[in-house]
Amino acid sequence: MSTDNVVEVTDVTLAYRRTRHRVSSLKQTAIDTINRRMAYEEFFALNGLSFTVARGETLSVIGRNGAGKSTLLKVLARVLPPTSGRVIVRGSVAPMIELGAGFNPELTGAENIMLYGTLLGCDSKTMQGRIEAIADWAQLTEHLDIPIRAYSSGMVARLAFATATDTTPDLLLIDEVLSVGDEDFQTRSKIRTEQMMNSGCAVVLVTHDLSAVKSMATRAIYLDHGAMKASGDPQDVIDAYHADLK
Amino acid sequence: MQVYDSAIAQTPVISALKGVWEKRSLLKLLVARDLTVRYKRSVIGIWWSLLNPLFTTAVMFYVFNTVFKAKLPDGQSFLPYLLSGVLTMTLFNQGLTMAADSIASGAGVLTKVYVRPEIFAFSATISSAINFLFGLIPLTVVLMIFGKHPGFKTPLLAVFMVCMCLFSTGLGLMLAIAYVNFDDSRSLIGILLLALQYMTPVFYPISALGPHTQKVIQFNPLTSFVAVFRDVFGGNAHATGGEWITMIITSLFFFVLGFYVFGRKWPKVVAKL
């Protein structure tokens, strides 16, 4: 392959019809149909985005709440298919988005590592061999055989983080840099995240922490109502964002 | 290296089936999760899950025994006839609603990690099929009390179970779309399922009905499922060739239809989750 781009996004739009009523129900739909007043509006979560992320680059996405930052991550994670435009992602993806989705409180730590790791895309044979190392890193080896409903929330977070960061992906998607657990673990998880980011993979980082953008990002884009308002050098993009906030 | 290109068109049904097959190790883990949560952690787990069909049978037996007992064909006893009908309906209802629920309430996972949602539907119907196997124990006991045994057709049970899995997976996928789209569809579906249950000869023999009603009941695919199960396990009824064919064709049809509809609608629905 000639290109070094892990991510290629070309003119991507994500639009969906959403109802004006907060909840959609058969009852409401029936009433609206009879009244010939379909209460739909087209909502553009992402509007004509184009960018690339190369191996070793860290692209930071900034913008107000509801600007489409998390939606963009979900499109890159393959969860949401774009309405139009094209997304190409070459290689494996590690989505660090709300870690621990898929954990079951009734299953033991070891069983949850297996299930979560496989959900994230590892094959189950590889995962079987990784359980010990993951538990060791999360400092949960002694608690591996009890259901995680008996864990503290910090322990669950540690287990999720350790499992999600066990592989070296080609593309790392981060929704806010996580710091979980006690102070010691926060430091370790931060170091591990930075190691992953520096391992040569492509990174897309969504964050409100602008100092993190300055220190980590090689490039940034600024989203507003789903559209790209600025892109390029992180400092310039932050300036553009600040100018809009005033 | 795996490459995701959103511009590559997905072949309806085929791409989804391939995706499920590639992730069969995940499917195994999901089934194991369901079974572990249900059985391993509590001693009464298995018996608890049998309580519903057994209790339903007891109530129906009490209510309908005197009314319908005489109308069953010669040599048939009401209790095994009833219990096998109830077990079939439980398998169907449970598989269907669990398949739809696993997707509709799986938003936590499905909006964060790329997984084919169809895998969740499959794992739900497979675990309810395993549940159903446990139900064969009390049925065997009942058969023996009435001087019968499961019979030599028992291996054909596999065909019945595969058909039921395909049927309820396909319907469950379509139901999942309804659940996500409309908040109040659950209660409506509950009523429809109840109607379907009464339209299936669970506690009455089809011969007890008038000729017109018989035609309507015969149109219900579950009538064929019930007849086949009764035939292959305990010989509580005779399934005609037509009923075998109806069962196989409808399950394949709804399986493919479910995958097709789901594949088309899911991309529009997932953004709402």
Please report whether residue A62 resides in a domain: yes
pTM summary value: 0.89
A74 touches chain B (CB under 8 A): yes
pLDDT of residue A25: 77
pLDDT, one tens digit per residue, over A157-192 is: 899 999 988 988 899 999 876 666 678 888 888 888
- Interface A–B counts its CB contacts (< 8 A) at 110
Considering only CA atoms, give the Rg of chain B.
20
Structure confidence at residue B111 (pLDDT): 87
Residue B3's pLDDT band (cuts 50, 70, 90): confident
Give the distance from residue B4's alpha carbon to the nearest chain A alpha carbon, in angstroms.
Answer: 5
Residue A102 lies inside a defined structural domain of this protein: no
The reported pLDDT for the residue numbered A39 is 64
CB contact under 8 A, A87 and B183: no
Domain contains A86: yes
> Cβ of B4 under 8 Å from any chain A Cβ?
yes
Please report residues of B whose CB lies closer than 8 A to that of A123. Answer: 25
Beta-carbon separation of B111 and A74 below 8 A: yes
pLDDT digits (tens, 9 = 90+) for B134-148: 899 999 999 999 888
- Residues with pLDDT less than 50, chain A: 1-2
Contact A25 B28 (CB under 8 A): no
**pLDDT at site B49:** 75
Residues A98, B121: Cα–Cα separation, whole Å: 23
Decide: B154 and B233 in contact? Cβ < 8 Å. Answer: yes
Task: Give domain status of residue A107, yes or no.
Answer: no
Task: Give how far Cα B230 sits from Cα of B75, B154, B193, Å.
Answer: 14, 10, 21
pLDDT for the residue numbered B272: 75
User: Are A26 and B267 in contact (CB < 8 Å)?
Assistant: no
Q: What does the pLDDT read at residue A130?
A: 94
Indicate the DSSP class of residue B11. Answer: P
**Does residue A226 fall inside a structural domain?**
yes
Picking from B3, B22, B114 by the largest number of A CB atoms within 10 A of its own CB, the best residue to mutate is: B114
Highest mean pLDDT among A21-25, B159-163, B187-191, B231-235: B159-163
Please tell me the total count of domains within chain A: 1
Between B113 and B250, residue with greater pLDDT: B250
Q: Which residues in A21-98 belong to E strands, given as ranges?
A: 40-54, 58-63, 84-90, 93-96
Tokens in use for A85?
A: 């435009």
Is 50 exceeded by the pLDDT of residue B185? yes
The DSSP-derived string for B16-42 is: HHHHHHHTHHHHHHHHHHHHIIIIIT-
Q: What pLDDT does residue A100 have? A: 83
Say if the Cβ atoms of A119 and B271 lie within 8 Å: no
**What is the rounded average pLDDT for all residues in chain B?**
89
Range list of H helices, B107-184:
107-110, 117-145, 157-181
Residue A187 lies inside a defined structural domain of this protein: no
Residue A1 pLDDT: 44
Partner A contacted by B187 (CB < 8 A): no
Closest CB to A77: pick one of B33, B114, B184: B114
Domain holding A219, by residue range, is 5-92+205-245
pLDDT tens readout for residues B53-110: 888 888 888 888 776 555 677 678 888 999 999 999 999 999 999 999 999 888 788 8
**Mean pLDDT, range B227-256, rounded to an integer:** 93
Task: Give the percent of chain B with pLDDT over 70.
Answer: 96
Model ipTM value: 0.86
CATH code for the domain in which residue A25 is found: 3.40.50.300
Residue A163 resides in a domain: no
